[in-house]
């Protein structure tokens, strides 16, 4: 079963790994930050070794985004991001695991203070 793990965040300034730029994460004791980072790296290594990690990518600053909308039969281009958004898509990982339970086990290590992590199945039509 393929799932995408979407990382929603708003680091200031924009940067990766996002935890390095999020006040909620940076306010944690150093030992806690190291433990969380270590757990995340361990899961990435495990996914890679098991062939479950299909890919992933950090995304650039949302200020560099371009939005395309359809208006009066034509695509209209505007600068992004959506101004009302408090969080932006910061990156994603694509995984292929045996079950939803495994996907949920994996995604727990991806969530951290100041971020929202979305787990979504990949559509199969």
User: What are 2-41's pLDDT values in tens digits?
Assistant: 999 999 888 888 888 888 899 999 999 999 999 999 999 9
User: What are 67-110's pLDDT values in tens digits?
Assistant: 888 888 898 888 776 656 678 889 999 999 999 999 999 999 88
Instruction: Please give the Cα distance from 67 to 105 (Å, whole number).
Output: 34
Q: Looking at the DSSP assignment, which residues form a beta bridge with residue 117?
A: 7
Token readout for 33 is 């930050």
User: What are 46-74's pLDDT values in tens digits?
Assistant: 999 999 999 999 999 888 888 888 888 89
pTM (2 d.p.): 0.85
CATH number of 2-121: 3.30.70.1060
pLDDT above 80 for 123:
yes
């Amino acid at each position: 079963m393929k799932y995408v793990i979407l990382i929603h965040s708003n680091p200031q300034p924009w940067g990766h790994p996002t935890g390095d730029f999020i006040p909620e994460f940076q306010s944690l004791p150093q030992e806690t930050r190291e433990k969380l980072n270590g757990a995340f790296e361990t899961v990435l290594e495990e996914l890679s070794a098991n062939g479950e990690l299909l890919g992933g990518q950090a995304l650039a600053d949302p200020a560099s985004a371009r939005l395309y909308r359809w208006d009066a039969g034509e695509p209209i281009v505007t600068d992004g991001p959506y101004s009302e958004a408090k969080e932006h898509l910061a990156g994603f990982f694509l995984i292929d695991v045996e079950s939803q339970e495994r996907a949920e086990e994996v995604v727990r290590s991806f969530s951290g203070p100041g971020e929202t992590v979305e787990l979504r199945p990949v559509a199969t039509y």
